Structure 1
Amino acid sequence: MVNNKLDNNKLNNMLDNDLFNPIGKYTKSLRMFYITIVLSFLLFIATSLFENAFNSIMSIASFLTWHNLLEFLSILISLGIFLAAYYTYEQTKNLRMMLIGVVFLTMGFIDAFHTLSYKGMPDFFIANDTANRATTFWIIARLVGAVGIFAVCFVDENRIHKIKKHYLVIPAMVVIIVVFFIITYYPHTIPPMYIEGKGLTGLKIILEYIIIAFLICSGFLYLKEYIKTGDSQTIHFSCALVVSIFSEVAFVSYGSVYDIYNYLGHLYKIITYFIFLRTIYIYNIQKPYKDLLIAEENLKHYVQNLDKLVKQRTAELENLNGKLINDLESARTMQLSLLPTNLPDDLSVAFTSRYYPAERLSGDFYNVFKIDNENIVFYIGDVAGHGVLAAILTMFAYQNIKAVGSSENNGECIIKPSDVLQNLYMRFNQTNFSDEMYMVLLYAIYNTKTRKLIYASGGLNATPILIKQGGKVKELDNVGFAICKLAEEIIPDYKDIELKLDKGDKILFYTDGLVEARNSKGSFYSQKTLVKLLSNNSFKDINSLSDSITESIFSFTEKKGLEDDITFVLMDVK
């Protein structure tokens, strides 16, 4: 078989991207998660060893410079995360990514306010003479991030959403403006987060622990989702949240806004933002290009092997087609075996028949057989459509038409045609055939001694034709209800019709495929043409007359072929 998949090693070398390496299973990703926890912890513990050295070499001016660099870098990363999610939302419809982008947009602006209002920075609308305003901006930004990312955990990653993106951005901008005005011009409405000479307030520390709790919950939810779905995006989010937790722990631990734990918290923050940016960038921007490259390589591979694929598929189709044809031929043989082979032909009456299916399997059926020395039963019918389903329905008819039953003295008695149809109708309504399926037929009993014909119609839409000696032709009554699944609404009353026949009479029973056959011009063979043919050839015996009907119908249809099955039975009273 042709290999239809692109070689993974070739793709990995081509893309040089470990994050989406197909061999990166649970073990590798979980190992990365645990390593992130260990390294973050070791860095936090090691920081205490360098606290005195840091305080001796890091002046306030130097700290502010580093602080500004780290904060502005985090702000740029926040905007990058937002822009990556915003400008790919129309294509991805990924609401989770869009909401994360909006959360980082909000944090980015509030972080900008925090940076510009930091103690020691130039005036930002008002004088930056205390650390409380910057700290308040900081804690609000962290709350927005922690609560927002926690809420996003409950958004279905795979669900396609049609929410307009500006409906998400506008509320975020309103929040940003409201936060700026309240903290800048109405600071007394919010309890202080930092008091000069004392340090962090109890409220600020409590809020930090609340933020840590939200981050822990979010990390757990993303880790749980990864274990359930195997989506590596969620495990990278979990790693980012681990680093963010240590960042918040660092911000709880500092005593001065210029000490080493404050500096460490900003480093953790940059790492957190970078992981988020890399994950969102890869999934929203790089991954589609990778998928496109895979598609292009697979397409190229298919084109290179197209001839081989075509030959292979052709061979498979020919094999399947051969099996199907063999099955249809077997079904056709079985269906033909149900047709009578030796029709009654004695001194009193003779029968002959012709059977021309439009396909391998037919929807027409008939039978002629003796039930005793005096009575002959025959029936002819047509089911809806033709082909396999129609053939199955003919099998049902053959199995369920009962000509005789039990009498009161435990002997057998002949069932009247009307009762045969009534029984068949009720049996059909007990089956699981679809409501669209139905059949029409005519059932008759002929007594050779009395030359009396009794028949009942089950809606056969082809009128039997009586041919008298001398060429006189008469269409017989043929009113009846089809065998269909309407027993809950209608219980039909089938009627027996009696007809006394004379010596030399012939009767043609047929299905509608005979008179509804069409030629290449679209014209029907018609009842009129058939009646005229029978009248002109009434002197012929039934075998010769059958040949004349066959020759006439196939001469009429020419090369067009049959659109419906044709079946007819000729009866000759001697």
Structure 2
Amino acid sequence: MLTLKKDRKIHIDKNYVILSLVWLGLLILFQLVGIYGEKWYVIFETQSFLYYHTFLEFFTIVIYFAIFIITYYTYSKNRRARLIIMFCTFFIVGFIDFFHTMTYSGMPGFFTEASIPIATTYWMIGRLIFAMGLLGAALVPVHKEVIHNRLYYVLGSIGIIFFIFYLVSYHINIFPAMFIEGQGLTALKIALEYVVMALLGIAILVFLKDYRNTKNVIFIQMAVGLSFGFFSEASFTLYSNVHDSYNMVGHIYKVISSYFVFRAIFIKNLDSPYIKLSCATEKIKKYAENLEKLVQERTKALEDANEKIIKDLQYARRIQQSLLPPKTLNLGNVTFASEFIPCQNVSGDFYDIYEIDDENIGIYIADVAGHGPSAAMMTIFTERVVAHKNNNFVKNEMLSCQKTLLHLYNEFNKSNFPVEMHIAILNGIYNKTTGVFSYCSAGMNTAPILIRSSGKMEMLDKSQGFPICKLGGVFVPEYLEAQIQLKAGDRIIFYTDGLIGNFSSNTFFREETLEEILHRNNSNSAVELRKDINREIRSIAKTKFIDDDITFVIMDVSDNY
């Protein structure tokens, strides 16, 4: 059975293709020159050749010094070792090419007479330094950094320039002949050109290796530039007259070579960072737009979630308030008037008034640590434990404030409430027949105020017990019950510390203010007293923030049952 394998796509790097086409074109052109060389061979008129030669040479000299400036100043930013070799190379070669141009046959000379030997020697030295410098730069790892003072390298380069200038200009005889008029290039000159070509060829391969590792197209451009330089040197192995067409073609290739090298170095060191910055700016702009859109979406989601939470809290508030007794309640000879003001949607304060039997009325007021939903859930727990009969808590035990609080303490410790939560509660029982009011406190930091029919006030502070908290495993509290005889016309106000607390700086009401209100409403009903207290709360709330739940219950006793 034959299995046909799915064809794999072969990825061809277009940059290698471009470089290959450049080499193919240069080889074809070089071959055509070899075939039709005699037909196309021209010896230019001296002045005409000098004009073009000077223009082309100065073009490359300007480019070399531009490369020097770019690499010299870029080195101070990124400290790459390659840049040291490059700025030294182009600085030296720029001056040597200048000397070569000024001493070329037919030129006025530069500190010495122009001559073919001097110009050719300058040329060969410049080409060797150029090829060795670029190969040396290519062999240094791309990202290798060094911390050297660049000025020393410039001074060293200046020394080399003066040394070469002195030797070539004033001691040309120590150098072997490179060109002999009437004969053409010497074997040494041709051999040295081949050495330069070999050095450039190796440099091309090293830059291609850098491209393979980094995929940075700049190294392809360097390879293209050096390829033109390679064929430029090949052209200089063919001329037989310093003013002929082979020499001119070599200089044209040299200009093209210098342009591509400049382009690669310029993009690498100057243009590329700005391109990256532009791309980064564009990305940041897109990210900002996406971020703005995302923020809007998240804001909408938060608004929706917040709206749902608010609705849920409003529902919780209604449920909590539905568990509270009516604000005005008449149970036989006792009238109750209450007020419940949460500082948030749901409150940590709660109270209840309930009939235990025909003779006894139960009442409690409590304050849970904290506010909000968690505290509100505690109110439901307390209401179910204290005010409702069940199999484990019989009616006779409900008639004891002391047993009721101990039962609440034990049930609380059986629950899974967090250890940081606790309940401060005051539980009371009023017997309508005897007029006795029994009460027991579990950590409540406010004491009810008894206002006799005569106007005399008493604090019901004879019972102070341990709060309901998660210490059942290490501590069993003892709750002491206190009693007070009530008569017709007597009044008790129960309240949480949101109204008046132990510390005057943290209370909403001043104690004197409450006493004043109680005195002036001594002959008024519980409902009227509640209205007066509420008016005072609203007045103070205009200038003072309500930061705690406020709850109070007024109990009025009329004729005995």
TM-score normalised according to structure 2 size: 0.50
Question: C-alpha separation between the residues in 2 aligned to 1:544 and 1:64?
Answer: 109
1:33 aligns with 2:19: yes
**Percentage of matched positions with identical amino acids:** 35
Q: 1:256 to 1:544 in 2, by over 3 A?
A: closer
Q: 1:200 to 1:62 in 2, by over 3 A?
A: same
Query: Does residue 113 of structure 1 match 2:106?
Result: no
Relative distance call for 1:248 and 1:313 in structure 2 (3 A) is farther
Q: Per-residue deviation at 1:201?
A: 1.6
Is 1:175 aligned to residue 104 of structure 2? Answer: no
Q: CA deviation at 1:195?
A: 2.2
Corresponding residue for residue 49 of structure 2: 63
Deviation per CA, 1:435-456: give whole Å up to 9, x if none.
Answer: xxxxxxxxxxxxxxxxxxxxxx
Q: 1:141 aligns with which of 126, 134, 138?
A: 126
For the Cα contact (< 8 Å) 1:222–1:237, is it kept in 2? yes
1:203 corresponds in structure 2 to: 188
Give the equivalent residue in structure 2 for 1:232: 217
Contact 2:226 2:261 in 1 (8 A): no
Query: 2:63, 2:262 within 8 Å by CA — same for their partners in 1?
Result: yes
Query: Considering only CA atoms, is the larger Rg found in Structure 1 or Structure 2?
Result: 2
Matched residue SS, 1:305: helix
More deviation, 152-161/217-226: 152-161
Give matches, 1:287-302, under 5 Å. 287-302=272-287
* Structure 2 counterpart SS, 1:546: coil
Indicate the residue corresponding to 1:505 in structure 2. Answer: none
Equivalence for 1:546:
475
Can you list the C-alpha shifts for 1:88-116, whole angstroms capped at 9, x where unaligned?
22223333234223212211110000000
Q: Residues of 2 paired with 1:118 and 1:90: CA distance?
A: 37
Q: Does 1:222 align with 2:151?
A: no
Instruction: Find the aligned partners of 2:49 and 2:32 in 1 and give their Cα distance.
Output: 20
- Summarize the alignment of residues 215-364 of structure 1 with structure 2, pairs less than 5 Å apart: 215-310=200-295
Q: What per-residue deviation string (whole Å, max 9, x for no partner) do you get for residues 324-369 of structure 1?
A: xxxxxxxxxxxxxxxxxxxxxxxxxxxxxxxxxxxxxxxxxxxxxx
Aligned residues of 1:95 and 1:160 also touching (Cα < 8 A): yes
CA contact (8 A) 1:250 1:261 kept: yes
Q: Which of the numbers 81, 89, 95 marks the counterpart of 2:67? A: 81
Q: Kindly indicate whether the alpha-carbon contact (under 8 Å) linking 2:225 and 2:260 is maintained by their aligned counterparts in 1.
A: yes
Is contact 1:96-1:155 (8 Å) kept? Answer: yes
Query: Aligned letter for 1:141?
Result: G
Secondary structure in 1 matching 2:105: coil
RMSD of aligned residue pairs (Cα, Å): 3.3
- Residue 311 of structure 1 and its aligned partner are, at CA, apart by 6.7
Could you say if the C-alpha distance between residues 201 and 305 of structure 1 is closer, same or farther in structure 2, counting changes exceeding 3 Å?
Answer: same
Partner amino acid, structure 1, of 2:160 = V
Where in structure 1 are there 5+ consecutive unaligned residues? 1-24, 318-536, 550-574
The separation in 2 between residues aligned to 1:190 and 1:287, in whole angstroms, is: 43
Contact 1:85 1:97 in 2 (8 A): yes
Deviation at 1:316, TM superposition (A): 12
Alpha-carbon spacing, 1:56–1:311, altered in 2? closer, same or farther (3 Å): closer
User: For residue 92 of structure 1, what is the amino acid of its counterpart?
Assistant: N
Tell me, in whole angstroms, the C-alpha distance in 2 between the residues paired with 1:164 and 1:97: 12
Partner of 1:90: 76
2:147 maps to 1:155: no
- SS of aligned partner of 1:127: coil
- Cα distance in 2 between the residues matched to 1:274 and 1:50: 28
- Calculate the TM-score normalised by the size of structure 1: 0.49
Residues 174 and 57 of structure 1: is their aligned pair in 2 closer, same or farther, counting only changes over 3 Å? Answer: closer
Superposed displacement of residue 125, structure 1: 1.3
Provide the rounded CA distance (Å) in 2 between the counterparts of 1:296 and 1:213.
44
Distance 1:57 1:154 in 2: 40
How many angstroms apart in 1 are the aligned matches of 2:173 and 2:476?
Answer: 111
Q: Which amino acid aligns with 2:83?
A: M
- The alignment partner of 1:231 has SS state of coil
Q: Which consecutive residues of structure 2, in runs of 5 or more, have no partner in the other structure?
A: 1-10, 303-465, 479-561
Q: How many residues align?
A: 307
SS, match of residue 106 in structure 2: coil
Q: Note if contact 1:26-1:230 (Cα within 8 Å) is conserved in structure 2.
A: no
Q: Does the 8 Å CA contact 1:82/1:98 hold for their aligned counterparts?
A: no
CA distance in 2, matches of 1:145, 1:303: 48
Residue by residue over 1:524-560, the C-alpha shift from the partner in whole angstroms, topping out at 9 and shown as x without a partner, is xxxxxxxxxxxxx9xxxx95852569xxxxxxxxxxx
Amino acid corresponding to residue 210 of structure 1 in structure 2: V
Return the offset for 1:270.
Answer: 0.5
Quote the offset at 1:288 in angstroms. 1.4
